[in-house]
């Protein structure tokens, strides 16, 4: 009854009235949620007692924003989207309609002009407009450039779609070179280019690629075999500590220890695999979570070996296959051998290609394995364990190989991580990391390598970009630190993306076994396993 | 022997808190089959709300009797935390109901990250200590029992009794159990499933808020990151007892509490969590669906 009454009221009420009512409710709820947490702040006074500092102004602003947002959404955005859908269906524009309206030639030319003009006067912006306004203009310029690039991408969308993997690999290989060249042009010297590229190659490139590799590794366990693993970071930790300990104690080279770390992680994967073979679904999830925590707690408490929470430092760098080293003091330092200027950027660029190679190896192995009997067995296991068993597939070995293979790639990534940081501590292997990796796998569309890579770039790159948002300081004042909001926004983005695309970015799968022709199927037709 | 009984008392106190949180996990799991990862942070929100209410009371009145202060803290925490969980369910979980199984798990993890960081951003990253509220300690035959522990155990027992009554004797509880068994059939029989699920979330959050208030009273300190460890332990407790089973959650909570206090008393305090998690793994090897869980019957 209640539903019917509500429906009729919604029909009779104009969108405006409806929006006002919804905004009112949203305001009440937001006030209830926020008045203790935003309206009051607990602070310590001089004698170390907690006191409350009221922030009613901030509370009013936040509640007002929630109400405004809800009002605009209900009164304007919802009717607009509904109308647009009808228009699009009538005009047959449906799949690309929003994008075609958004990317138009006049806009593109406008964006180009704006970007070009602002780039020309880049040096004198501060002088003309003052630093505050210039910050906005720089942000505006970045938006214009992004829009122009997006338009170009959109124009070639069919081509890009057809050659996505090859193009993606090409872009990834060219990325450090392009960054160095652009920055060298901007600063006017090659050394400046290398110096400036550190941030882009290290913080963005390597950081994202590590997560891509981890997510591809976890994808074997979750996406292919359908075993929900909440403790994947344990294998990452095993790999990192294997390299850190063996390299600092025995002095072995990275190239020997990389496979050793992978084998050790795979070994731990099998050890974890045995007890959990009988478990299903969420029982499996909690045991893997517990396993991840056990590994971390052992790393913290086994001080004689792991040096506890202080971690292991002074982990040797990777050498260029033993031919050249990246330590300035060594006789075969790369700059001395090649006769070029010293720079820390060579090592970062080398690491970038190393992790790119490792990630591509993961992808290659995954793609090949999917066509082998064991890969097909994984996917069969994900779809239906009972059918699997009745067809004579040995589920024990199938699950164990999935755990071991996934763990091995986690171990590779871990030893890379240790070599890159030069320092490992249990801090890096908390549950949050497992959650982020799992989120990337699910957000990307389980089982889809391309989708996972896109998800990693969006989620990790997006939060890294927040560190660069200097102009926000002009908006919110100098003591505003965008980094503080990184994880808050990350969590909210996880929720929003999942609500927007519950099946992940790439919601279709290509079957590995097909009868006559390849045809991508919506992944809503395939279910994920229950362990 | 005295030492052993002392540890038993400590374990009972810890276990009560875990049990209260675990009920929220197990109820939500029972009714919509989802691991509510944000529940640990809901517990932390409860503790934080209690902290702020405590400070408000301290600022507004010269002195409030401890019992009344505790009651007010508890009630406000229950109300506000329920509002949080209700909103979260509506915003983040309901649109994904009927979607594939991992989708709500991911939004729950996202919510957990967002909630703890929301508190960090709004209230600061430091530990928040309060002066001790209750400090009496009784000595009974060589075993020292503090009033705090008595309060925790008594409040937990009272709440569990109330909760048992709600689930087993009222129409609301019947509706809940019906939704747990078969949501579609329950809807056909005229049960408002959405409302029932909302109420389940509210009840879970209210119990977690009480656990949070008791946690604050017992330890006298709370920080934004305090939701994770108790959350994981309570989840472990729920699984240990057999997820979906309410008595199982309480038994699992008590077991985790006992294991922890016994291990730190007799072996090493560093490895108490390792012990709890290892025992979980061992129990699950022999009883794959927990102590009181019904084994899943699969129909082909």
Q: What is the DSSP string of A46-84?
A: TTS-EEEEE-HHHHHHHHHHHHHHHHHIIIIIHHHHHHH
Give the pTM.
0.86
A481 pLDDT band, cuts 50/70/90, is confident
pLDDT at A340 > cutoff 90: no
* Rounded-to-integer distance, Cα A323 and Cα A42, Å: 58
Q: Give the least confident one: A71-75, A277-281, A343-347.
A: A277-281
Say if the Cβ atoms of A502 and B103 lie within 8 Å: yes
A243-257, A341-355, A494-508, B217-231: range with lowest mean pLDDT:
A494-508
Alpha carbon B80 to chain centroid distance?
15
Distance CA B267, CA B262 (A): 8
Give me the mean pLDDT over the A460-474 stretch.
73
In the CATH hierarchy, which top-level class contains the domain B2-286?
Answer: mainly alpha
> What sign does the dihedral A105-A109-A110-A114 (CA atoms) show?
positive
Cβ–Cβ under 8 Å, residues B27 and B204: yes
Share of chain A above pLDDT 70, in %: 85
Q: Classify residue B62 as exposed, middle or buried by CB count within 10 Å of its CB (0-12, 13-18, 19+).
A: exposed
Residue in chain B closest to A524 (alpha carbons) equals B100
Is the pLDDT confidence value at A343 over 50? yes
User: What does the alpha-carbon distance between residue A46 and residue A411 come to, in Å, rounded to a whole number?
Assistant: 48
Whole-number Å distance between alpha carbons of A327 and A342: 10
A391 to chain B, any CB pair closer than 8 A? The answer is: no
Top-confidence range, A13-17, B121-125, B249-253, B289-293: B249-253
Whether the CB of A503 is below 8 Å from some CB of chain B: the reply is yes
User: Is B252 in contact with B238 (CB distance < 8 Å)?
Assistant: yes
The rounded distance, in Å, linking the Cα atoms of B135 and B233 is 27
Is A527 close to B92, i.e. CB distance below 8 A? Answer: no
Note the maximum CA span of chain A. Answer: 84
CB-count burial class (<10 Å; 0-12, 13-18, 19+) for A459: buried
Optimal mutation site among B44, B109, B129, interface A, most CBs of chain A within 10 A = B109
Look over chain B and give the mean of its residue pLDDT values, rounded to a whole number: 88
**In A, which residues are within 8 Å of B205 by CB distance?**
none
Does residue B225 carry a pLDDT above 80? Answer: yes
**Burial readout B270-295 (b: 16 or more C-beta within 10 A, e: otherwise):** bbbbbbbbbbbbebbeeebbbbbbee
Confidence of residue A529 (pLDDT cuts 50, 70, 90): very low
Between A216 and A337, name the one with better pLDDT.
A216
The predicted pLDDT at position B29 comes to 87
Q: What is the pLDDT of residue B212?
A: 94
β-strands A312-313, A50-54: how paired?
unpaired
The residue ranking higher by pLDDT, A414 or A54, is: A414
Q: A368 CB near a chain B CB, below 8 Å?
A: no
Hey, are the CB atoms on A37 and B298 less than 8 Å from each other? no
Rounded to a whole number, what is the distance in Å from the CA of A228 to chain B's nearest CA? 9
Comparing CB atoms, the residue among A32, A41, A52 nearest residue B59 is A52
- Beta strand residue intervals within A415-471, DSSP E: 423-424
Q: Do the chains contact at B280 and A439, CB–CB below 8 Å?
A: no
Q: How far is B225 from B128, CA to CA, in rounded Å?
A: 11
Contact A293 B277 (CB under 8 A): yes
In this predicted structure, what is the pLDDT of residue A1? Answer: 41
Q: Is the pLDDT of residue B169 over 50?
A: yes
The DSSP call for residue A325 is B
With an 8 Å Cβ cutoff, is A204 touching chain B?
no
CA–CA dist A212, A388 (Å, integer): 30
Q: What is the mean pLDDT of residues A89-106?
A: 67
> Are B124 and A290 a contacting pair at CB < 8 A?
no
What percent of chain B stands above pLDDT 70? 98
pLDDT category at A3 given cuts 50, 70, 90 is very low
Do the Cβ atoms of B35 and B108 come closer than 8 Å?
Answer: yes
B270 contacts in chain A (CB < 8 Å): 297, 300-301
User: What was the pLDDT predicted at A4?
Assistant: 47
Please judge whether A488 and B117 are an interchain contact, meaning their C-beta atoms are less than 8 angstroms apart. yes
CA distance B81 to chain A (A): 8
Q: Torsion angle of alpha carbons B26, B32, B38, B44, nearest 10°? A: -40
What is the DSSP annotation of chain B?
Answer: -HHHHHHHHHHHHHHHHHHHHHHHHHHHHHHH----TTHHHHHHHHHHHHHHHHHHHHHHSS---HHHHHHHHHHHHHHHHHHHHHHHIIIIIGGGTTS-THHHHHHHHHHHHHHHHHHHHHH-SS-EE---S---EEEETTEEEEHHHHHHHHHHHHHHHHHHHHHHHSHHHHHHHHHHH-HHHHHHTT--HHHHHHHHHHHHHHHHHHHHHHHHHHHSEE-GGGGHHHHHHHHHHHHHH-TT-HHHHHHHHHHHHHHHHHHHHHS-STTHHHHHHHHHHHHHHHSTT-SSPPPPPPP-
Q: Which residues of A touch B55 (CB under 8 A)?
A: 40, 42, 50-52
Question: How distant, in Å, are the alpha carbons of A14, A530, B237 from that of B232?
Answer: 47, 21, 8
Measured distance CA(A267)–CA(A262) in Å, rounded: 9
Which pLDDT belongs to residue A225? 87
Concatenated DSSP letters for B273-286? HHHHHHHHHHHHHH
Residue A200 is encoded by which pair of tokens? 């882009």
Number of H helices, E strands in chain A: 25, 6
Amino acid B22: pLDDT: 93
Rounded mean pLDDT, A59-81: 89
Question: What are the domain boundaries of chain B?
Answer: 2-286
Q: Which of B52, B83, B281 sits opposite A40 (nearest CB)?
A: B52
Contacts with B, A 155-194, CB within 8 Å = none
Other CB atoms within a 10 A radius of the CB of residue A49 amount to 13
Helix (H) or strand (E) holding A484: none
CA B21 to chain centroid: 1
Helix (H) or strand (E) holding A531: none
A291: nearest CA in chain B?
A: B277
ipTM: 0.88
Q: Higher pLDDT residue, A530 or A120? A: A120
Contact A288, A531 (CB under 8 A): no
The pLDDT of B91-99, averaged and rounded, is 87
* Size (chain A), residues: 531
Residue B80 pLDDT level (bands cut at 50, 70, 90) = very high
Instruction: Note the pLDDT tens digit of each residue in A240-262.
Output: 999 999 998 888 888 889 999 99
CA distances from A319 to A126, A209, A342, A428 (A): 44, 20, 16, 24
pLDDT confidence tier of residue A507, bands split at 50, 70 and 90: low
Closest CB from A29, A485, A499 relative to B107: A499
Is A498 touching B (CB cutoff 8 A)? yes
Q: Looking at the partner chain, which of B84, B95, B236 has a beta carbon nearest the beta carbon of A286?
A: B236
Give which of A364, A380, A521, A506 is closest to A440, Cα–Cα. Answer: A506
Model confidence band, residue B35 (pLDDT cutoffs 50, 70, 90) = confident
Q: Test B102 with A484 for CB contact under 8 angstroms.
A: no
Q: In the structure, what pLDDT confidence band is assigned to residue A153 with cuts at 50, 70 and 90?
A: confident
Residues in A 435-494 with any Cβ partner in B closer than 8 A:
435, 438-439, 442-443, 446, 484-485, 487-488, 490-494
Q: What is the pLDDT of residue A239?
A: 94
Contact B114 A38 (CB under 8 A): no
Q: How many CB pairs under 8 A join A and B?
A: 178
Cα separation, A342 vs A190, whole angstroms? 12
What are the distances in angstroms from CA A228 to CA A122, A231, A423? 51, 9, 30
| Mean pLDDT, residues A385-400 | 88
Which residue from A minimizes the CA distance to B277?
Answer: A290
Q: Is the pLDDT of residue A478 over 80?
A: no
Closest CB to A36 among B49, B59, B284: B49
**pLDDT computed for residue A515 by the predictor:** 62
Backbone angles phi, psi at B78, to 5 degrees: -60, -45
- Choose the most confident range, by mean pLDDT, from A3-12, A505-514, B131-140, B205-214: B205-214
Q: Are A182 and A331 a contacting pair, CB within 8 Å? A: no
Could you tell me which residues are beta bridge partners of residue A154?
none
Q: Is B83's CB within 8 Å of A29's CB? A: yes
CA A172 – CA A167 distance, rounded (Å): 9
Contact assessment for residue B16 and residue B249, using Cβ atoms and an 8 Å cutoff: no
Q: Distance (Å, rounded) from C-alpha B117 to C-alpha B109?
A: 12
Q: What is the pLDDT of residue A530?
A: 43
- The SS3 of residue A338 is helix
| Alpha helices by DSSP H, A50-189 | 56-72, 78-91, 97-102, 105-120, 125-155, 157-162, 164-187
Q: Which of B49, B51, B122 sits opposite A38 (nearest CB)?
A: B122
Q: To 10 degrees, what angle do helices B2-32 and B147-169 make?
A: 30
Q: Measured between CB atoms, which of A43, A280, A487 is closest to B296? A: A280
For residue B105, the chain A residues in CB contact (below 8 A) are: 442
Q: How many CB atoms lie within 10 A of CB A13?
A: 13
- Length of chain B as a residue count: 300
Give the contacts of B150 (CB within 8 A, at least 6 positions apart). B138
């Amino acid at each position: 009854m209640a539903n019917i009454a509500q429906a009729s009221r919604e029909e009779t009420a104009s969108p405006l009235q409806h929006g006002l009512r919804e905004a009112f409710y949203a305001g009440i709820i937001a006030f209830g949620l926020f008045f203790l947490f935003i309206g009051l702040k607990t602070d310590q006074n001089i004698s170390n007692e907690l006191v409350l500092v009221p922030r009613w102004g901030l509370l009013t602003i936040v509640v007002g924003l929630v109400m405004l947002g809800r009002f605009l959404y209900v009164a304007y955005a919802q009717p607009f989207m509904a109308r647009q859908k009808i228009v699009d269906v009538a005009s047959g524009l449906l799949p690309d309609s929003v994008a075609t309206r958004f990317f138009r030639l006049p806009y593109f030319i406008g964006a180009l002009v704006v970007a070009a003009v602002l780039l020309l006067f880049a040096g004198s912006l501060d002088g003309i407009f003052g630093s505050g306004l210039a910050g906005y203009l720089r942000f505006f310029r970045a938006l214009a450039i992004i829009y122009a690039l997006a338009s170009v991408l959109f124009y070639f969308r069919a081509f890009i779609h057809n050659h996505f993997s090859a193009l993606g690999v090409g872009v990834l290989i060219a990325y450090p070179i392009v960054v160095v060249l652009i920055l060298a042009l901007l600063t006017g010297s090659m050394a400046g280019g290398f110096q400036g590229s550190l941030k882009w190659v290290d913080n963005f490139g390597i950081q994202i690629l590590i997560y891509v590799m981890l997510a591809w590794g976890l994808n074997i366990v979750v996406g292919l075999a359908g075993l929900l693993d909440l403790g994947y970071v344990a294998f990452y930790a095993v790999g990192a500590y294997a390299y850190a300990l063996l390299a600092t104690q025995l002095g072995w080279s990275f190239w020997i220890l990389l496979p050793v770390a992978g084998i050790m992680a795979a070994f731990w994967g099998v050890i974890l695999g045995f007890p959990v073979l009988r478990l299903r679904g969420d029982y499996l999830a909690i045991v893997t979570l517990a396993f991840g925590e056990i590994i971390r707690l052992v790393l913290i408490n086994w001080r004689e070996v792991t040096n506890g929470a202080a971690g292991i430092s002074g982990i040797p760098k990777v050498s260029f296959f033993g031919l050249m080293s990246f330590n300035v003091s060594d006789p075969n330092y790369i700059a001395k051998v090649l006769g070029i200027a010293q720079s820390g950027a060579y090592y970062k660029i080398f690491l970038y290609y190393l992790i790119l190679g490792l990630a591509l190896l993961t992808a290659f192995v995954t793609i090949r394995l999917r066509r082998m009997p064991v890969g097909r067995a994984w996917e069969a296991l994900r779809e239906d364990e009972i059918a699997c068993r009745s067809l004579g597939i040995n589920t024990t070995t199938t699950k164990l190989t999935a755990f071991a293979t996934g763990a091995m790639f986690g171990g590779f990534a871990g030893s890379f991580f240790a070599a890159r940081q030069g320092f490992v501590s249990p801090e890096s292997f908390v549950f949050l990391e497992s959650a982020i990796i799992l989120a990337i796998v699910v957000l990307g569309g389980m089982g889809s390598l391309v989708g996972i890579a896109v998800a990693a770039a969006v989620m990790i790159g997006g939060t890294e970009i927040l560190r660069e948002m200097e102009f926000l300081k002009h908006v919110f004042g100098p003591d505003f630190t965008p980094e503080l909001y990184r994880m808050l926004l990350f969590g909210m983005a996880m929720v929003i993306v999942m609500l927007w695309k519950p099946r992940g970015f790439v919601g279709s799968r290509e079957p590995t076994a097909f009868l006559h022709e390849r045809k991508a199927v919506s992944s809503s037709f395939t279910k994920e396993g229950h362990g | 022997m005295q030492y052993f009984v002392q540890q038993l008392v400590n374990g009972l106190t810890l276990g009560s808190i875990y049990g209260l949180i675990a009920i929220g996990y197990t109820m939500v799991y029972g009714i919509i089959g989802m691991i509510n990862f944000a529940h640990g942070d809901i517990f932390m929100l409860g503790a934080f709300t209690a902290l702020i209410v405590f400070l408000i009371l301290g600022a507004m009145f010269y002195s409030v009797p401890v019992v009344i202060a505790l009651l007010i803290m508890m009630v406000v925490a229950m109300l506000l935390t329920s509002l949080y969980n209700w909103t979260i369910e509506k915003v983040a979980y309901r649109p994904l109901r009927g979607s594939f199984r991992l989708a709500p798990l991911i939004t729950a993890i996202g919510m957990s990250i967002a909630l703890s960081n929301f508190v960090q951003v709004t209230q600061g990253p430091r530990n928040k200590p309060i002066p001790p509220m209750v400090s009496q300690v009784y000595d009974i035959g060589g075993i020292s029992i503090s009033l705090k522990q008595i309060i925790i155990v008594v409040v937990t027992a009272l709440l569990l009794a109330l909760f048992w009554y709600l689930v087993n004797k009222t129409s609301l509880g019947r509706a809940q159990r019906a939704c747990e068994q078969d949501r579609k059939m329950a809807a056909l029989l005229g049960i408002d499933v959405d409302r029932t699920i909302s109420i389940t979330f509210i009840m879970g959050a209210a119990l977690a808020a009480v656990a949070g208030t008791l946690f604050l009273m017992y330890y006298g300190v709370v920080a934004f990151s305090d939701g994770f460890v108790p959350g994981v332990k309570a989840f472990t407790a729920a699984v240990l007892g057999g997820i979906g089973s309410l008595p199982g959650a309480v038994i699992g909570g008590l077991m985790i509490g006992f294991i922890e206090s016994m291990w730190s008393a007799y072996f090493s305090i560093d490895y108490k969590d390792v012990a709890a998690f290892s025992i979980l793994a061992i129990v699950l090897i022999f009883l794959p669906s927990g102590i009181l869980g019904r084994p899943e019957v699969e129909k082909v």
